[in-house]
Structure 1
Amino acid sequence: MLKQIALVSLMGISTLSFADWQVKVGGSVISPTQDTNTALGVVKADHEFAFTPSVEYIFGETPFSAEVLLAAPIGHDVLLDGNKAAKIKHLPPTVTFKYNLNNSSPFTPYIGVGGTAFIAWDESGAAKKVKEDFGFAGQIGVNFKPADAKNWGVFFDARYAQLSPEVTLIDELGGGKFDLDIDPMVYTLGYSYRF
């Protein structure tokens, strides 16, 4: 009986239609927009490049979809008054709920809102500890599907992530704590494939 239930469930999942899924792979520039004034000076995270795949679920024939941004750990040099003081790595899972402005042209603009996370992965240098953080995420972009393309397209989008993880400094620098205001813009150019 249990096997039959599992088989029926799997068949049901498979008919959820892969036609409702889209995979996107792209390269991103992560560009912090803020800096932080501390007792030691001005602290800022530097720009980084990253490979950023994502998976999107389209809700049937509606213009709505949900996208999950994935990435390998992203490393930022942390600059103190322009000099490298530390390095931090993090995972940036981000979920946005999108509205796709479908039309008769090959261009489909979209806009999305959701949430993001800063999951600390590693730290070195003056950073003794970096805490997780959660915040708002926004997204705007466009997908281009050529007339002769059956399933593939190219896309460009820009995301904003509201992230200010708490950083604890090493004891040699007083062990103080501050919120590192990163708040990055993430610009991505890539390839999309809809199943």
Structure 2
Amino acid sequence: MKLAPLALATLASVSLSLLPSFASAHKAGDFILRAGAATVDPSEDSGSVFVGGSDTGMEVGADSNTQLGLTFTYMLADHWGIGLLAATPFEHTLSLKKSVLGLGDGTLADMKHLPPTVTLQYYFNKPASAFQPYVGAGINYTTFFDEEFSSTRKNQGFSSLDLDDSWGWAAEVGVDYQINDKWVVNGTLWYLDIDTTAEFRFGGSKSKVDVDIDPWVYMLGVGYKF
């Protein structure tokens, strides 16, 4: 029994020595690079498709897509950082809904986009904490490219698709959990205000549809701190 206090003290000492030190966690001047799987999940609200100035009542939707997401944070101060969201190009299939003229619902076109987003972030906990929840707000710019109608729609008379680039606001919530002085695991959720107008020709007539894509973007990944 006399050995019990010594054994407990030794066990406590060894256990504490195995715990990572976070004395330098998330302090001013740190640069954090994170990478992981990022999913863009549109919550689109489409206006009507106009053909030759006439409202057809048809609408357009977009599916979800997952790509490699990258985020960068530079800590301006112990609680404040500047964040950047980047990714490999997201690829979406646009679909036609409430179709008329015998066109049929379903796949309409494919397109790609990049949504670089800059936010001002606030980290709630003290710099030495391993658990770092944060929020952010800022600006999103989305550029669309490689827009192309499916072969079926081309045969129906659709052509010359072009989606306008978009500027909008952005908000995020996230959390870092520091494994050691350099590595973190991360989860982040963004809401992006992405509004675009798709212009095209149908049967030779100028046509367009306004689409509020407004996606939720969520990412799980790991990060490294410099």
TM range (shorter): 0.7 to 0.9
Matched AA of 1:84: T
Aligned residues: 176
1:49 corresponds, among 50, 61, 66, to 66
Aligned to 1:12: none
* 2:40 aligned residue: 30
SS in 1 for 2:195: coil
User: Does structure 1 retain, via aligned residues, the 8 Å contact 2:81–2:120?
Assistant: yes
Mapped to 2, the partners of 1:173 and 1:110 lie a distance apart of: 51
C-alpha distance in 1 between matches for 2:129 and 2:73: 21
Please give the TM-score of this superposition, normalised by the length of structure 1. 0.83
- Alignment of 1:78 onto 2:94: yes
Question: Which residue in the other structure is 1:94 paired with?
Answer: 117
Higher mean C-alpha deviation, range 183-192 or range 104-113: 104-113
Deviation (angstroms), 1:19: 5.2
Structure 1 match to 2:173: 140
Q: By how many angstroms is 1:173 displaced?
A: 7.4
Computing the radius of gyration from Cα coordinates, the structure with the larger value is 2
Deviations 1:4-61 (A, max 9, x none): xxxxxxxxxxxxxx9521101011111011231312522111111111112111114x
Q: 2:174 touches 2:188 (CA, 8 Å); kept in 1?
A: yes
Residues in 2 aligned to 1:178 and 1:80: alpha-carbon distance in whole angstroms = 11
- Over 4 Å off, 4+ runs: none
Q: Give the aligned CA root-mean-square deviation in angstroms.
A: 2.0
- Length-normalised TM-score, structure 2: 0.72
- 2:123 is equivalent to residue 107 of structure 1: no
Paired AA for residue 216 in structure 2? M
Q: Indicate conservation of the 8 Å contact 1:73/1:121, yes or no.
A: no
Counterpart Cα distance in 2 of 1:70 and 1:173: 38
Measured in 2, the distance between the counterparts of 1:174 and 1:86 equals: 18
Matched, 1:193 2:217: no
In structure 2, relative to structure 1, the CA distance for the partners of 1:93 and 1:173 (3 Å cut) is: farther
- What is the one-letter code of the residue matched to 1:31? D
Instruction: Report the equivalent of 1:168.
Output: 199
Instruction: Please give the secondary structure, in 1, of the residue aligned with 2:172.
Output: strand
CA positional deviation for 1:92: 0.9
User: Structure 2: any 5+ residue segments left out of the alignment?
Assistant: 1-27, 49-55, 98-104, 150-157
Q: Distance in 1 between matches of 2:194 and 2:79?
A: 29
Q: Which runs of structure 2 are paired with 1:63-74 in the superposition (5 Å)?
A: 63-74=79-90
Look up the equivalent residue of 2:139 and give its one-letter code: G
Q: Deviations over 1:149-193 (max 9, x none)?
A: 121010101000000111012333743122211000001000011
Tell me the SS of whatever aligns to 2:223.
Answer: strand
Point out where structure 1 has 5 or more consecutive residues left out of the alignment. 1-17
Question: Does structure 1 retain, via aligned residues, the 8 Å contact 2:29–2:74?
Answer: no
